[in-house]
Amino acid sequence: MLNKIEMFVKLVENDQLENLKAQNFNSEVNIRNCKVTYDVRRKYILVDIKNSGRYMIDKETQEIYGIKAYGKINKNHYYGILDTISNYYWGQYTAFKMKEVRDINNIEFLTVESVLEQKKVDEMMAKFEKEVIDAEELSFEEIAEEYSQQQNNCENIIVVDFNNSNVEEIEEVQEMKEVVNSSLINTFNTEPRTKENNKTIEVNSNMKIECLEGHTLKEKNISFESAIDMIILKLSDKVPFVKTVFEIPCIKGIGLHNVTSWDVENINYNFYNDNFIVSDGKNSLSLNKDANITIRDRKNMSYTFSVYFHDYNMSFVIGY
């Protein structure tokens, strides 16, 4: 049975990482938050994503269920048994049944460790490509000057004296030059750099963050991705409290101030259909690129980090 559980854990982590990549939220924090682990208890096996409970498996029947709260099974949310895990997709907030069954025995599973390693490689390649693009903008004289400076800074430069070298040495150097030239040709013969090739993060005019300029508190626009990364980064810490606050101004003699405390031990988050969803099992909050919000990091003032929703006079407040 343990082999089946480990296969299930691998599949959930793989699907979580795939969904993260599809949503373009593949920052290091988000990737690490996809780590799936399990804990064998007396009657159930608890499956966690990062530090949040997500599924419970009945050890006797091998049935998979959702949870109401950590360690409390929700039998209204049933996801088959360990033998049918390939029937479901596990990458979103809740699993759903797929139209076609996958052959999970032939999947090259993604893991948090492998994705982080690939991310490092991609970042190195992106840095190299930027240097190549920058080099294209230099004049021939500037390139020659830069190459000369690099040569002066190198400790191991092979200089061939063609007058005194033998044929083998000269042929070896010529082969090396051909390899380098070939790689440069492959590098520069890429598709034209269009807007589609150079994707930039779109800054949303309806999403802002407070910032201090001198002694003045101002707001600047940020992207949806940056806003979500900030929220996830804050929720990744051990926080003393999380709450939602509704403020309805007094109209016709009636006003409302409502505070709802969240269960900080059971908060988890995921992405579903371009929506970022936070939940503690009882309360949930969803937002996407259309949300009209301002992020207020007021650690030095009220010791809180909050997301204010302008259209609803509501705040999602996280304590420090």
Pick the last residue of a domain from 57, 80, 115: 115
Q: Which two tokens stand for residue 186?
A: 């492959």
Residue 53: C-alpha distances to residues 156, 253, 298 (Å) = 55, 44, 30
pLDDT at 88: 94
Q: Determine the structural domain holding residue 19 and report its residue range.
A: 2-115
Pick the last residue of a domain from 72, 92, 115: 115
Determine, yes or no, domain membership for 294: yes
pLDDT at 172: 54
| Residue partners of 96: CB distance under 8 A and separation at least 6 | 88, 89
219 phi/psi in degrees, rounded to 5: -125, 145
pLDDT at 266: 86
Determine, yes or no, domain membership for 55: yes
Query: Can you tell me the distance from the alpha carbon of 155 to that of 244, in angstroms, rounded to the nearest whole number?
Result: 61
Q: pLDDT (tens digit, 9 = 90+) per residue, 23-40?
A: 777 788 889 989 999 999
308 and 210 assigned to the same domain: yes
Determine, yes or no, domain membership for 138: no
The number of domains in the chain is 2
Query: Can you tell me the distance from the alpha carbon of 91 to that of 270, in angstroms, rounded to the nearest whole number?
Result: 9
Helix 167-188 to helix 112-136 angle (10° resolution) is: 100
Is the CA virtual torsion 51, 57, 63, 67 positive or negative? Answer: negative
Q: Are 224 and 207 in contact (CB under 8 A)?
A: yes
209 and 108 assigned to the same domain: no
Low-confidence ranges of the chain (pLDDT < 70): 128-204, 213-215, 250-252
| Residue partners of 106: CB distance under 8 A and separation at least 6 | none
Length of the chain: 320
Query: Can you tell me the distance from the alpha carbon of 76 to that of 58, in angstroms, rounded to the nearest whole number?
Result: 14
Determine, yes or no, domain membership for 78: yes
- Single-letter amino acid, residue 271: F
Helix (H) / strand (E) element for 209: namely strand 203-213
pLDDT at 134: 62
Burial of 150 (0-12, 13-18, 19+ CB in 10 A): exposed
Which residues face 63 on adjacent strands?
81
Determine, yes or no, domain membership for 283: yes
Determine, yes or no, domain membership for 137: no
Determine, yes or no, domain membership for 122: no
| Residue partners of 260: CB distance under 8 A and separation at least 6 | 243, 244, 245, 283
Q: pLDDT (tens digit, 9 = 90+) per residue, 264-273?
A: 888 888 887 7
Pick the last residue of a domain from 115, 135, 155: 115
Determine, yes or no, domain membership for 163: no
Under DSSP, is residue 163 helix (H, G, I), strand (E, B) or coil? Answer: coil
pLDDT at 77: 92
What is the residue whose two structure tokens read 């009657």? Answer: 43
pLDDT at 149: 56
Query: Can you tell me the distance from the alpha carbon of 269 to that of 93, in angstroms, rounded to the nearest whole number?
Result: 7
pLDDT at 196: 41
Predicted TM-score (pTM) of the model is: 0.49
